[in-house]
């Protein structure tokens, strides 16, 4: 008995397993994004409603007379509808967050927690500190207290989920803590700056015998001190208790560069520039000098001092050579921006001498402000960039910095050219504008001169580096790719040593642990690459303290 087999058409053939898995993965990704997006919206609505209800509880019965019943109805709707929906969505998502599930290891879960944790922390801390700052001077504000309580509960909830042992995210490790630490540091720095500025203002006023209007100086200083202490607590919790200070992830390193290389340096140079500007005004003793006032002078000095405090504290945490180079280049960029601003203002003030819009002390003040920015920025740039030293031409960070500065300067120059062209056409097409040609273009022209100088210098440096690198490359090949095979515990230290010694990209293969005692050090691995004359190599680190380099052809 024969059995005829009917061939299966391509259209009716079963889909490959890989295509089915890909489709399933795409559906799950969309499901996660929609779930967490809806959860975030529901949490926001419930938080607003809960804050409104708490405010009405604290201020009843006056609140009904002031706002009517519509506000209460909105708070009830947001809380009693948004709250259960948020809890339901959370339970639907939470029950799938296990080690065996892809939901816990997805990027969507980590991104949701980072965003929700950061936003709730910002709202909670601002409301709580605002309430406490008002309370210390005898002002009771239940509205801010209600917002602080509601969003404090939301922050605690997300903080607990982030650090949950079995359901916490496995992506973006430490990102929420890094952002929390940075936010706390920002609150601390701003509060301390305002408190110190108020004290300095009162001290300067006492020395000069001047009087200040408004509330007593200690009232503003006490309010600012509350913000500083609260910000310090937020920063300490994340920096110390949540281990941000010991993180070596890329995100943590970027945050450290922003703080130690950009924010603190900007505060130092900005405060120093404003302080120098006012000191010159005091030396000239012109009665018509547009003085900053004691508050602005105290604020300028306080800004510089707090910037120094931040810079000095964070410098020891810039541990690796690569991180130190990135921080140095970031600080150099800030100093360069201040110096370029000074050049632009000097050109502006010089051109203003040809017009009648600025006369007397106004023109002098503009010139001195540009001179102060140029002096402070140029000295800082010379100290940080060190143009006379022999650079390390092979570092990728230096090349990226040069290209970035040249690109930004070229973009700004192009924009200023467009502005100058626009002003020229306006001047020639509308003769009744009432403004002279020089007065119309002196601001963008000053900016154009500064950016052209910056672009020209950095382009010349980039071409010089490229010529040196080209000559070096023609003499001997440079190590570009390293495969590290090791079983050591601190593999990150070995990777950093290889990158610092050669600038190569590193791929790590973990080997099985050996019973032999000892491990190779980072210095041994870096020294072993000194005589490598190929582009690709394999580094065997271990077992024991042995280090072997296999040079590959091609």
Q: 3-state SS of the chain: helix, strand, coil percent to 5?
A: 70, 5, 25
User: Could you give the C-alpha distances from 221 to 137, 168, 195, 201, 212, in angstroms and in order?
Assistant: 11, 41, 5, 10, 14
Instruction: Supply the pLDDT for residue 22.
Output: 47
Q: What's the rounded Cα separation, in Å, for the pair 318 and 432?
A: 58
Task: State the pLDDT at residue 507.
Answer: 86
Per-residue pLDDT of the chain (554 residues; tens, 9 = 90+): 444 444 444 333 444 444 444 445 578 788 888 989 999 999 999 999 999 888 888 886 555 555 557 777 888 889 899 899 999 999 988 888 877 778 888 888 999 999 999 999 999 999 999 999 989 888 888 889 999 999 999 999 999 999 888 888 888 888 999 999 999 999 999 999 999 988 887 777 666 655 555 567 778 889 999 999 999 999 999 999 998 998 888 889 999 999 999 999 999 999 999 988 887 876 765 554 544 455 577 888 999 999 999 999 999 998 888 888 889 999 999 999 999 999 999 998 888 877 655 555 567 778 888 999 999 999 999 999 888 776 665 567 788 888 889 889 989 999 999 999 888 888 887 765 556 777 788 888 999 999 999 989 888 888 877 777 665 544 456 777 888 888 887 787 888 888 877 778 888 888 776 656 677 888 888 888 877 878 888 888 877 778 888 888 76
Q: What is the pTM of this model?
A: 0.77
User: For residue 145, what pLDDT is reported?
Assistant: 93
Alpha-carbon gap, residue 463 to 456, rounded angstroms: 11
Q: Calculate the alpha carbon distances from 139 to 53, 107, 214, 348 in Å.
A: 21, 44, 16, 47
Residue tagged 């290889």 (tokens): 498
Give the per-residue pLDDT at 354.
Answer: 74
Cβ 268 vs Cβ 307: under 8 Å: yes
CA angle 178/184/186 to nearest 5° reads: 105
Q: How far apart are CA 271 and CA 307, in angstroms?
A: 9
pLDDT of residue 511: 78
């Amino acid at each position: 008995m024969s059995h005829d087999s009917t061939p299966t058409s391509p259209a009716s053939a079963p889909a490959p397993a890989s295509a089915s898995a890909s489709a399933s993965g795409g559906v799950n990704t969309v499901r996660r994004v929609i779930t967490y997006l809806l959860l975030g919206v529901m949490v926001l609505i419930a938080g607003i409603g809960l804050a409104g209800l708490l405010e009405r509880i604290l201020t009843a019965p006056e609140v009904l007379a002031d706002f009517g019943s519509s506000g209460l109805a909105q708070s009830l709707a947001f809380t009693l509808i948004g709250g259960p929906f948020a809890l339901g969505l959370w339970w639907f998502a939470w029950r799938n967050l296990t080690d065996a599930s892809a939901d816990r290891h997805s990027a969507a879960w980590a991104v949701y927690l980072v965003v929700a944790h950061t936003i709730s922390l910002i709202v909670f801390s601002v409301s709580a500190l605002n309430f406490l700052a008002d309370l210390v001077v005898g002002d009771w504000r239940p509205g801010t207290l209600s917002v602080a309580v509601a969003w404090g509960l939301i922050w605690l909830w997300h903080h607990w989920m982030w650090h949950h042992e079995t359901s916490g995210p496995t992506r973006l490790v430490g990102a929420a803590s890094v952002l929390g630490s940075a936010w706390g540091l920002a609150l601390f720095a701003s509060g301390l700056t305002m408190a110190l500025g108020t004290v300095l203002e009162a001290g300067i006023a006492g020395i000069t015998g001047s009087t200040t209007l408004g509330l007593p100086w200690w009232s503003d200083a006490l309010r600012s001190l509350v913000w500083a202490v609260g910000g310090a607590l937020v920063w300490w919790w994340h920096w110390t208790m949540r281990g941000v200070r010991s993180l070596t992830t890329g995100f943590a390193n970027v945050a450290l560069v922003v703080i130690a290389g950009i924010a603190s340096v900007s505060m130092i140079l900005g405060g120093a520039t404003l302080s120098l500007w006012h000191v010159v005004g005091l030396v000239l003793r012109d009665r018509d000098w547009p003085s900053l006032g004691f508050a602005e002078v105290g604020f300028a000095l306080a800004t510089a001092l707090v910037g120094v405090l931040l810079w000095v504290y964070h410098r020891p945490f810039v541990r690796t050579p690569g991180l130190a180079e990135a921080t140095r280049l970031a600080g150099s960029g800030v100093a360069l921006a201040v110096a370029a601003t000074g050049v632009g203002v000097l050109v502006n003030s010089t051109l203003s001498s040809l017009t009648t819009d600025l006369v007397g002390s106004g023109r002098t003040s503009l010139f001195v402000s540009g001179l102060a920015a140029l002096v402070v920025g140029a000295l800082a740039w010379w100290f940080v960039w060190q143009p006379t030293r022999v650079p390390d031409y092979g570092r990728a960070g230096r090349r990226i910095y040069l290209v970035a500065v040249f690109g930004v300067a070229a973009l700004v120059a192009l924009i200023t050219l467009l502005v100058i062209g626009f002003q020229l056409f306006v001047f020639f097409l509308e003769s009744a504008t009432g403004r002279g040609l020089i007065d119309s273009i002196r601001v963008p022209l000053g900016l154009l001169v500064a950016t052209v100088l910056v672009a020209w210098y950095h382009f010349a440096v980039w071409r010089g580096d490229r010529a040196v690198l080209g000559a070096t490359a023609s003499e001997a090949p440079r190590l570009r790719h390293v495969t590290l095979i090791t079983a050591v515990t601190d593999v990150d230290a070995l990777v950093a040593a290889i990158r610092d010694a050669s600038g190569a990209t590193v791929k790590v293969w973990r080997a099985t642990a050996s019973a032999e005692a000892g491990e190779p050090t980072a210095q041994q691995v870096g020294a072993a690459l000194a005589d490598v004359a190929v582009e690709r190599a394999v580094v065997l680190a271990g077992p024991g303290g042995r280090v072997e380099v296999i040079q590959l052809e091609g």
